[in-house]
Amino acid sequence: MRSISTSIEANEAYLSEQFNRCSDIILRSFALKDDTVMLLIYLDGMTHMQGVEDNVLKPLLFGGLPQGLDRMQSLAETLRREWLPMTNIKTDESMEELVHHILLGGLGILVEGEASALIAQVQGYETRGIQEPLKESTLRGSKEGFVESIRTNMTMIRRRIVHRQLKMESYTIGKYTQTAVVLAYMEGIADENVLTEVRKRLDGIETDGIIDSAYIEEWIENNSFSIFPQIQNTERPDIVAASLLEGKVALLTNGTPFALLLPVTFWSGLQSADDYFERFVFVVLTRFIRYIMTFISFALPAIYVALSTFHPEMIPSNLMIGIATARENSPFPTVIEVFLMMIVFDSLQEAGVHLPNQLGPVVSIIGALVIGQAAVEAGIISTPIIIVISLTGIATYTIPRYSATLPFRIVRYLMLFISGWLGFVGFAFGMMFLLIHLVMLESFGTPYLSPVAPFDGKRIKDLIIRYPVWVKNGRVKKGRAR
C-alpha cells in the first residue's frame, strides 16, 4: 500500500507510470499565484468537465487563494472544507484509493508539499435516459424502466418507497470490474435469515468480473444445475418496490438494467405486474388461462404424441379419424415429426432474437410460408402437428416473464422423448420427475413450490384468485419472506 508522497513530482511520476499507455488519463499540473504547484488528475470523458473547470480551475487560476487566507497546514484540507463548492468530496492519503476513484471517474487534486489527495466525485459520463422497459411491458402502470446506472436505479426505488426502513447496502464485486452491487430490502419486513444468507453469498463471490446481474445470479443461486430460475430478474422499478414490500430482497448491479429479486417461487414467474393493475375479477380469468397455457406449453406435444400413437382410443372418435386422415401419408413417425417441428420453431425464435430489426419479416415469411405451409402441402408434416406446435408456442408466451419460459422450453423436449418412448406411462414418469425436482428446489430457504407444497392455505389464495388489494393489505405478515 503506497501512500501519497509530499513531492508532487514523485506523485506525478508514480501516477504516470500507473496509467502508462492509458490514452484517456489527463494529468494537468499548474501553479497558483504563490507558486504552489497543484496537480489535477482524471480520466477524460469520465468526469463532468464543465464542473471541474468552473469550480476548480477557474477560481484557483484566476483568483488564487482567497485574500487574507494564509497558507494553512494543508491546502487540500482547506479546499475541501471551505473552498470547493462540491458535496461529495474527501481527502485521502492512500494512493490506491486515489487510483480507484480516478478509475471510477473522480477528480484527484494533489498539492505540492502535502501527503494527501483531494478526491472529488464529479463523475459525468454519458448514460442512457430512463425509458419504457421493453422486455416487461405492461398495459397499465409505470412506464419507467431501470437503466445501466446503479445510482439512477436506486433513486427510482427510493422515489417509490419513501421510508427510512428501505436499506441499501453497498458491495463491490469483481477483481477487475469493481462492480457496484446494492442489496436493497425493507428492514423489518425482509427475512433476516435470507439477508444473512445473501450477504454471505455475496461476500463469497470471487471473480474477475461481473458484467451483468446474471453473473451474480449464477454465483449465488442455490442450484445452478436446475433448469428453473431461482432468482427473478426485472427491469421494472415498480415490481422491485412491490417485491420489497412483500419482504423480498433486491440486488441492483451497476451496468445492467436488470435487478435481481429473491427469494422466488415457481409461481412468481407466472405472475405479471399487470395482475395487480387490472380489476381483480379479470385477473382471475387471465391467471386461469395462464396456468392452463403453462401446462400446455410443456405438455401438449408430449400429450399429442402419447395419445395419438399409444392410446388412440382416448381421443374422441371423430377427432381421431380426423387426425388419422391428416396423417395418412406422413413419412415420419409422429414423435419425430413433432420433434422436427419443435426444432424448427425454436430455431425460428432464436433467429428472430438475433436478426437485425429490418430482417425480422424475412424470418416470419420463411417460417410461415416455407416451413409451415409448404411442408404441409408437400406431405412432410401433417396439419395437426402444426396446430400443436403453434399452440404450444403461443402458450409459452402467455408466461409473462421471459426467463420463466425457458425451463418449459427444455421440459417440452424431455416430455416429448419420454412420451414418445413410453406413452402416457412415460408422461406420468416425466411429470413425476419434474415434480420431484420442483419440490426439492429451494430459493434462499423458500421451497420453490410453496405455497402449494408445503401447503399454505392462506397464501395459496393469491395464486388462484387475486383478492382486491385492500384484502391483501390486511394480510401482509411482518418478517415473512415470500
Q: Considering beta carbons, is residue 382 or 405 the nearer one to another protein?
A: 382
Q: Considering beta carbons, is residue 18 or 309 the nearer one to another protein?
A: 309
Task: Provide φ and ψ at 38, rounded to 5°.
Answer: -125, 155
- Does 424 engage in binding with another protein (CB under 8 A)? no
The pairing of strands 259-262 and 442-443 is: unpaired
Q: Which of 83, 146, 228, 310 binds another protein (CB under 8 A)?
A: 310
Q: Considering beta carbons, is residue 204 or 316 the nearer one to another protein?
A: 316
What residue type is 21 in one-letter code? R
Which H/E stretch holds residue 471? Answer: helix 469-473
Q: Which of 232, 271, 272, 334 binds another protein (CB under 8 A)?
A: 334
Q: Which of 178, 226, 330, 349 binds another protein (CB under 8 A)?
A: 330
- Does 222 engage in binding with another protein (CB under 8 A)? no
Q: Which of 129, 328, 354, 377 binds another protein (CB under 8 A)?
A: 328
The three three-digit cell numbers of residue 258, written as one number: 436488470
Pick out residues in 362-421 that bind another protein (CB under 8 A). Answer: 417-418, 420-421
C-alpha distances in angstroms, 34 versus 7, 74, 334? 17, 15, 90
Q: Which of 104, 202, 366, 422 binds another protein (CB under 8 A)?
A: 422
Residue range at the interface with another protein (CB under 8 A); choices 7-15, 113-121, 151-159, 329-337: 329-337
Residues 439, 444, 445, 446, CA torsion sign? negative
Contact status, residue 234 vs residue 252, Cβ threshold 8 Å: no
What residue type is 225 in one-letter code? F
**Torsional class of 21: left (φ above 0), alpha (ψ -120 to 50), beta (otherwise):** left
Contact status, residue 449 vs residue 265, Cβ threshold 8 Å: yes
- Does 432 engage in binding with another protein (CB under 8 A)? no
C-alpha closest to that of 36 among 113, 106, 98, 88: 113
- Does 313 engage in binding with another protein (CB under 8 A)? yes
Output the smallest distance, CB 269 to another protein, in A.
25
Site string for another protein, 249-288 (x = CB under 8 A): ----------------------------------------
Size of the site for another protein (CB under 8 A): 26
- Does 423 engage in binding with another protein (CB under 8 A)? yes
Distance CA 111, CA 64 (A): 14
Residue range at the interface with another protein (CB under 8 A); choices 5-13, 232-240, 320-328, 454-462: 320-328
Contact status, residue 264 vs residue 230, Cβ threshold 8 Å: yes
- Does 211 engage in binding with another protein (CB under 8 A)? no
Distance CA 380, CA 337 (A): 8
Name, in order, each residue with C-beta under 8 angstroms of 19's C-beta and a sequence gap of 6 or more.
Answer: 25, 27
Q: Considering beta carbons, is residue 63 or 333 the nearer one to another protein?
A: 333
Q: Which residues bind another protein (CB under 8 A)?
A: 305, 308-310, 312-313, 317, 320-321, 323-330, 333-335, 417-418, 420-423
